[in-house]
Structure 1
Amino acid sequence: MVYLVIVEGISDMGVVEGIAEKVKCPVECRRMRGNRPDKACRIIKAEAMGGEVQESDRFKGCT
């Protein structure tokens, strides 16, 4: 099972990937654009759909 980890910045992504490599845990890191945790659901939806973002969901929150 691959875990999806949503991080805020590039340095956070490096830390998470480094720790995951040491504990041998497969992760997929995705970076948010800025500190917008309410938009994290957009990334989750995109990953669930195979990486594609629908235009209708692009500017919406989790609704």
Structure 2
Amino acid sequence: GRAVPGAAPALLPGRSPAAPAVDPCLDISRLRQDTGYAPEWDLDRAVTDYVGWLRAGNLR
């Protein structure tokens, strides 16, 4: 990954490839439409921040 080059995290089994591409529980399009909300952090920034937090000695 970009946050930890060379890392190969063990991923738990996910959903079936036949599952919808967008999980309706995670879809924020209505929130965006209704309120204009836009997340401040994208996934890369969030993971990088979390890795830094763990490296600072914080427990999961």
Under TM normalisation by the shorter chain, which class is it? under 0.3
Q: TM-score, normalised by structure 2?
A: 0.23
Bigger Cα Rg: 2
Which structure ranks higher in relative contact order (CA pairs < 8 Å, sequence separation ≥ 6)? Answer: 2
Structure having the higher strand fraction is: 1
Q: What TM-score, normalized to structure 1?
A: 0.22
